């Protein structure tokens, strides 16, 4: 499916928009796999001729113009795609809501009163609305999978380090990964082929697994929908450990790294951040070295356990703990939703595994992604497996 005409300039979605903003590097080669497709680039990647804004006007004002585009973007341009525009992100990608106090909250066309999901909120909305074919985003704690789930998109967090991350503003390098959002699996597959070297790709296991601690912690409606799908597949029941404890350890390490990278700028710019992201950085500033080391120890044990599980299985779980929360939800409700979702999404981040959100579930009329977490470098195989699951699940 090709993009619609250039959309009206919605600053909640776009920071910069063009037609195209950056042309394809394959020229007019009609045989290029991404020929004619357009990309919405999350405002964390270097785009030649533009500065990175990271969702913050004050940060943007201080940055220099990039002289060349990030390798992850050049891979898509080399395969025939062009850049439609630079799309908005939650500030420094430190959120999964999709709201930005400076630029507004992008729409969610599948759930009009719902949040779009972040922090790849701009690229997700651009793709869901048909204004771009591929959203080039990032996923540290779920920032590809959450907007994909909320908006009924295909979204893949790549194996960490399967794609060159230079030219990408980090949040927490221990967990940061490149990712893509599309409306269809064939476009997603083409983006993966263009971006991940063939020698790095491996076959995904043919067996599926479901984690008991994940299932029992789900809300009733999500649990019923997920188990309804899982019951139609051959699955093994596995133990991934205490997901709440794993999330706490993950959050500690993520916070420590985020503060190490951005703490100096945050301290030097009081009042520059929205309240939620500012509070997150304030908490990050309090993480001690001993707490960070203890949390890393917990994650090391969890990674060994997950490596064993994923050696011959693909883990299935809901992409998010709920469908898109309402925009007018109170902060306490949003925080509970965020924590419940991150307890699911952090599992892939802990081990640097690829994780695909496929729009195969629905709760209360809203889309809900089915997530497939595979062994490292099974990125392409997960897309193919999800297509087969879509057929199996009807």
Q: What share of the chain is helix, strand, coil (3-state, %, to 5)?
A: 40, 15, 45
With contact defined as beta carbons under 8 Å apart, do 280 and 263 qualify? no
Show Cβ contacts of residue 346 under 8 Å, excluding neighbours closer than 6 positions. 141, 142, 246, 247, 250, 251
Nearest to 372 by CA among 355, 350, 349, 393: 355
Active-site choice (26, 82, 119, 158): 119
With contact defined as beta carbons under 8 Å apart, do 18 and 89 qualify? no
Active-site choice (3, 12, 26, 42): 42
What is the C-alpha separation between 34 and 24, in angstroms, rounded?
9
Active site residue 213: no
And the tokens for 315?
């883990």
The HSE-up count of residue 352 (CA atoms within 13 Å, CB side) is 14
And the tokens for 172?
């927490």
Position of tokens 């940055």?
63
Query: Measured in whole angstroms, how far is the alpha carbon of residue 222 from the centre of its chain?
Result: 20
Active site residue 75: no
Active site residue 290: no
Q: What values do phi and psi take at 82, rounded to 5?
A: -125, 160
Nearest to 33 by CA among 191, 153, 178: 191
With contact defined as beta carbons under 8 Å apart, do 21 and 68 qualify? no
Instruction: Give the number of other CB atoms < 10 A from CB of residue 61.
Output: 9
Active-site choice (95, 143, 322, 337): 143
Position of tokens 């007018």?
328
Residues belonging to the active site: 42, 119, 143
């Amino acid at each position: 499916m090709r993009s619609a005409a250039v959309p009206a300039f919605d600053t909640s979605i776009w920071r910069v928009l063009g037609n195209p903003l950056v042309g394809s590097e394959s020229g007019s080669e009609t045989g290029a796999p991404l020929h004619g497709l357009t990309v919405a680039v999350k405002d964390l990647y270097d785009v030649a001729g533009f500065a990175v804004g990271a969702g913050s006007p004050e940060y943007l004002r201080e940055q220099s113009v990039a002289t060349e585009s990030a390798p992850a973007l050049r891979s898509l341009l080399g395969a025939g795609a062009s850049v439609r525009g630079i799309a908005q992100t939650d500030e420094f990608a430190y959120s999964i809501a999709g709201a930005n106090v400076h630029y507004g909250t992008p729409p969610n066309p599948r759930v009009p009163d719902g949040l779009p999901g972040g922090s790849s909120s701009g690229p997700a909305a651009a793709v869901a609305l048909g204004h771009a074919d591929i959203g080039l985003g990032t996923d540290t704690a779920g920032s590809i999978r959450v907007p994909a789930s909320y908006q009924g998109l295909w979204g893949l967090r790549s194996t960490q380090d399967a794609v060159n991350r230079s030219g990408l503003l980090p949040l927490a390098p221990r967990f940061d990964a490149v990712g893509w959002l599309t409306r269809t699996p064939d476009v997603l597959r083409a983006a993966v082929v263009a971006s991940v070297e063939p020698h790095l790709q491996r076959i995904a296991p043919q067996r599926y697994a479901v984690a008991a601690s994940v299932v029992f912690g789900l809300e009733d409606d999500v649990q019923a929908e997920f188990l309804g799908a899982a019951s139609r597949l051959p699955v093994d029941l596995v133990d991934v450990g205490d997901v709440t404890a794993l999330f706490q350890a993950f959050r500690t390490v993520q916070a420590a790294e985020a503060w190490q990278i951005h703490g100096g700028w945050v301290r030097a710019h009081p009042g520059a951040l929205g309240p939620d992201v500012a509070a997150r950085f304030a908490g990050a500033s309090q993480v001690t070295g001993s707490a960070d080391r203890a949390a890393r120890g917990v994650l090391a044990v969890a990674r060994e356990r997950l490596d064993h599980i994923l050696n011959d299985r693909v883990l299935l779980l809901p992409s998010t703990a709920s469908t898109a929360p309402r925009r007018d939800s109170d902060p306490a409700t949003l925080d509970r939703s965020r924590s419940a979702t991150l307890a699911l999404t952090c599992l892939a981040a802990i081990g640097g595994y690829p994780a695909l959100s496929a729009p195969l579930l629905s709760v209360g009329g809203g889309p809900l992604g089915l997530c497939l977490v595979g062994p490292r470098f099974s990125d392409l195989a997960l897309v193919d497996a999800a297509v087969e699951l879509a057929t199996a699940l009807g």
